[in-house]
Chain A
């Protein structure tokens, strides 16, 4: 398949754009594979890509019940960052960040990763210390973080209320300069195309309805398009983990499904450059290349598998964004949507072998899954290929909860709605 480049664009433009080929094949399922990945979202696709690229395992199928990228990779606020507090988190997300920084080249697909910075606003000296602790933690593990004064923030983000009369005055902010945003759909499509080019079968509209077992061992899946056998089956179905794992007889997991709403304003000329988060509530905002302000807040805070949220959260988010940007009141909300999150019991993910022989599980991303896409696939591929975790996901086990080896960034304990 042809490389994408400016030259290819020009050549195709001259022939009326009629020679472009599908970005990936519409594969039909074969009777068996070395590896099946259940879930054609960002993590499933990147897993398939790295299985092929890093481990030479190309006899792989990705099974997607809808269209590729129809899950959370296509419904998020596109933020990429590694500004975490705890060592296990920083190690993993820094790895992801490094993959992001070369991803467009690696995939020959412009995922539009733009390192415009993520700025966390602090509103009290105590919160500032807390953020500085986090920034220092990042710096001690080779990450990038800077502390900005309120005045510096005012210059960087015009329109932000940094005045002392603000209800929650800004006292400073933690900036991760290498963080930013990417074009979420392009990430799914780029990985899909990359995996396809390496021989992976991407099978859309193929819903897993059961698992094939030999004794305890998982040896394949039952789908609406027939049975497919595999030596190894990886499950990466954020938002549907509970449902899919029940098909394998796993009735309970340290996960609850919750809905996270996100919002886009009408398209306007440049308004804000960095990603900015509000410390006196829960809000993050950036502006897309098309001009829409993209923002979101907390969860609706009840279990759900429906991709729909409710009004109180909408009002809360709008109130907070108005508190940050007093000009924003007259701008208009254009779209909202909801994504279903696997909220884990400590707010951190699970990338592990098991829980059944022949099975591998990737889940529990809460609402941090998008930025993890490269490293999640990379580490999951490693775990599937070698039957053991890589150092970056060694901590992301399923038994860590019972063992009390928690990775609790927010310190909220086993109350998933608070992570």
Chain B
């Protein structure tokens, strides 16, 4: 399998570390809804088909990539920097020092190559 890292170009599977399902949304850290947390930590849609997932270019630039890849054929449909992928699978975090709730983070790109 070859994944094209936006920074490093096409690289072999051996350089990448699979970081799992990219469809999950991390709840707002302040959320106390246990069911939401359980769902985030344990439940997977486990798609048979095009699967959105996170890979880290661990043997290269160490950036995280959002890859859409067929779990039936392993064909890779798209690769994007997770920071840029509109994939902020996270609720915002209450900043401990300021206490300002940022709410869910938008998908705006702030990553610099």
Residues of A within 8 A of B (CB): 242-243, 251-257, 301-306, 308, 310-312, 345, 401-402, 414-417
Query: A305 near B71 (CB under 8 angstroms)?
Result: yes
Instruction: List B residues at the A interface (Cβ < 8 Å).
Output: 1, 12-14, 17-18, 20-21, 34-35, 38-39, 41-48, 51, 53, 69, 71-74
Once the chains bind, are A417 and B39 in contact (CB under 8 Å)? no
Given A303-B71, A312-B12, A312-B13, check contact A242 B42 (CB 8 Å). no
Number of A-B contacts (CB under 8 A): 72
Chain B residue with Cβ nearest A242: B46
How far does the alpha carbon of A23 sit from the alpha carbon of B21 in the complex, in Å?
Answer: 43
Chain B residues with CB below 8 A from A252, complex form: 39, 43-46
B44 lies within 8 A of A310 (CB): no
Asked if A310 contacts B46 (CB within 8 A), the reply is: no
- Whole-angstrom CA separation of A308 from B72 in the bound complex: 10
A255 to B21, CA, bound (A): 11
The answer to whether A303 touches B72 (Cβ under 8 A) is: no
Q: Give Cα distance in the complex from A340 to B18, angstroms.
A: 17
- Complex CA gap A133/B38 in Å reads 31
Q: What are 17 A-B residue pairs whose CB atoms fall within 8 Å in the complex? A: A242-B48, A252-B46, A253-B43, A254-B44, A255-B44, A301-B18, A302-B69, A303-B21, A303-B46, A303-B47, A303-B71, A306-B72, A306-B73, A310-B13, A402-B35, A402-B42, A417-B18
Q: Which residues of B contact A254 (CB under 8 A)?
A: 42-44
Q: Chain B's nearest CB lies how many Å from the CB of A240?
A: 8
- Determine the chain A residues whose CB is within 8 A of the CB of B47 once the complex forms: 242, 303
Q: How far is the CB of A112 from chain B (nearest CB, A)?
A: 34
Asked if A304 contacts B42 (CB within 8 A), the reply is no
| CB proximity of A396 to chain B, nearest CB, Å | 15
Distance, CA A242 to CA B71, complexed state (A)? 12
Instruction: Kindly list 17 other residue pairs between chains A and B, CB separation below 8 angstroms, not including A252-B43, A303-B53.
Output: A242-B44, A242-B46, A242-B47, A251-B45, A252-B44, A253-B46, A255-B44, A257-B46, A257-B71, A302-B53, A303-B51, A306-B71, A308-B74, A310-B13, A401-B42, A414-B41, A416-B20
- Give bound CA distance, A401 to B14, whole Å: 31
Q: Which residue from chain B places its CB closest to the CB of A417 in the assembled complex?
A: B18
Give every chain B residue within 8 A of A253 (Cβ-Cβ). 43-44, 46
- When A and B form their complex, which 5 residue pairs have the shortest distance between CB atoms, in order from nearest? A242-B46, A252-B43, A312-B14, A402-B38, A401-B42
> With A306-B74, A310-B13, A415-B20 in contact, do A243 and B45 touch (Cβ < 8 Å)?
no
Task: Please name all residues of chain B whose beta carbon is closer than 8 Å to the beta carbon of A251 when the two chains form the complex.
Answer: 45
Shortest C-beta distance, A35 to chain B (Å), equals 26
Complex Cα–Cα for A382 and B34 (A): 32
Complex CA gap A345/B38 in Å reads: 11
B73 contacts which chain A residues (CB < 8 A)?
Answer: 306
Cα separation A345 to B74 with both chains bound (whole Å): 23
- In the complex, are the beta carbons of A401 and B13 less than 8 A apart? no
- Using known A-B contacts A302-B53, A306-B71, A308-B74, determine if residue A255 contacts B20 with beta carbons closer than 8 Å: no
The smallest beta-carbon distance between B4 and chain A, in angstroms, is: 16
Alpha-carbon separation in the docked complex, A417 to B72 (Å): 18
| Chain B residues, Cβ within 8 Å of A304 | 71-72, 74
CB distance from A366 to the nearest CB of B (A): 14
Report the minimum CB–CB distance from B71 to chain A (whole Å).
5
Of residues B13, B39, B73, which shows the largest number of chain A Cβ atoms within 10 Å of its Cβ? B13
Structural contact, A256 and B46, CB atoms closer than 8 A? yes
Residues of B within 8 A of A345 (CB): 41-42
Contacts A312-B13, A415-B20 hold; do A305 and B42 have CB atoms under 8 A apart?
Answer: no
A401 touching B38 in the complex, CB below 8 Å, given contacts A253-B43, A254-B43, A303-B21:
yes
Distance of B51 from chain A, by nearest CB (Å): 6
Query: A256, A257, A303 — which one has the most chain B CB atoms within 10 A of its CB?
Result: A303
Q: In whole angstroms, how far apart are the Cα atoms of A257 and B18 in the complex? A: 13
CB B6 to nearest CB in A, in angstroms, measures 19
Residues of B within 8 A of A302 (CB): 18, 53, 69
- Quote the shortest CB–CB distance from A253 to chain B (angstroms): 7
